[in-house]
Amino acid sequence: MRVENAEVVDTFAEAFAMWGSRVIITAVSPVWAMAAARAMTGFATSVIGCKCEAGIERELPSAETPDGRPGVSVLLFSMSADSVGKRLLERVGQCVMTAPTTACFNGLTAEQEAAVGGKLRYFGDGYQIAKFLDGRRYWRIPVMDGEFVVEDRFGVKSSVGGGNLLILGPDLPVTLAAAEAAVAAMRQVPGVILPFPDGIVRSGSKPGSKYKGLPASTNDAYCPTLRAFAPSTEVIPEAGCVLEIVIDGLDLEGVREAMRVGIGAAAAHGALRITAGNYGGHLGQYQIGLHSLLAA
């Protein structure tokens, strides 16, 4: 199938069942809300090495936040609900509570919940104060600029991680532009994040390695420099660069929609071929066929 000048391969992205949460960070200004959000989503590109995947969903105007201040919505995913709780505790504690003027609220109603403020409160060393308003419990933790307000519990729901697109282009500039266009389009879809730096990853991986103990290694089939002698290659002769976009979402529909608009945007900006990574359907719980996205 062709979209613009790009060939869309008849294959599927293999995605995984994950657990996700939505964190609303507010602050006195959009700058400080974003500073905390960037810190919280740093070093959160892949569960393989970071224990979680996180990204900024969108900026929130004052009218959409619980305390009427500028905010940022962050999504965080991990492989279990328990792990999401642990990562939230670490990152809200180290990255949000530390940033001047911030507050942190749950942005997801879900059956499962993780205690975040309910544990962070101990930082208050007995001076913390609970407040219960309209069915939600908050903690006021005294800090040096006043108080850090954090919600007691955060919703955690079953989610989808590892949706992906592989974009092959003639060279680095064109491929990067195509990937950037795809990222810009995909970021308009609510409920999804692209956890890699500015949404794009160049070091796609395959499971396993020739070296013992390594869970993943470079995806040689998509490395242009190895095309001449790798055991198998997916790099077409016209291509000089491959970039990947990974998508995590709070539901499968969001991931599918992000991939659909991403294909269209990449194709419109010079991609030669668009494909997706999978493991033969043996590892992931979800198979997202590229052609099925375009047919929908």
Partner 1 sequence: MKLAFHHRPEVPIEAEVITPEKLAGLSEAEVSALPLQYGNERVPLGEFFRVSGRYEGEILVEGDLSRVKMIGSGMSAGRIVVDGDAGMHLGVGMSGGEIVVKGNAGDWVAPDLSGGRITIHGNAGHLVGSAYRGSAMGIRGGEILIHGNAGNEAGNAMRRGLIAIGGDCGDFGGVNMCAGTLIVLGRLGARCGASMKRGSIVSMQPAPLLPTFGYACRYEPLYLRLYLLHLKRLGMSVGEAHIEGPYRRYSGDAIETNRGEILLLDA
State the residues that interact with partner 1 by CB under 8 A: 66-69, 103, 129-134, 138, 140, 146-147, 149
Minimal distance, residue 66 CB to partner 1, in Å: 6
In the complex, what is the shortest distance from the CB of residue 294 to partner 1, in angstroms, rounded to a whole number?
44
In DSSP terms, 248 is beta-bridged to 193
CB 109 → partner 1: shortest distance, Å? 17
Nearer to partner 1, 23 or 243 (CB): 23
Encoded tokens for 185: 């389009």
Q: Measured from the CB atom, is 67 or 238 closer to partner 1?
A: 67
* Smallest separation, CB 20 to partner 1 (Å): 25
> Closer to partner 1 at the Cβ: 11 or 26?
26
- Measured CA to CA, the distance from residue 121 to residue 138 in angstroms comes to 10
Phi, psi (degrees; rounded to nearest 5) at 21: -145, 160
- Minimum CB separation from partner 1 for residue 190, in Å? 23
Least distance (Å) between residue 96 CB and partner 1: 13
Write the burial class of residue 223 (CB in 10 Å: 0-12 exposed, 13-18 middle, 19+ buried). Answer: middle
Of 47 and 149, nearer to partner 1 (C-beta) is: 149
Rounded distance between C-alpha atoms, residue 67 and residue 287, angstroms: 40
Phi, psi (5° rounding) for residue 70? -60, 145
Pick the closer one to partner 1 by CB: 132 or 229: 132
Nearer to partner 1, 68 or 190 (CB): 68
236: Cβ–Cβ under 8 A, 6 or more apart, which residues?
168, 272, 273
- Residue 30 or 224 having the CB closest to partner 1: 30
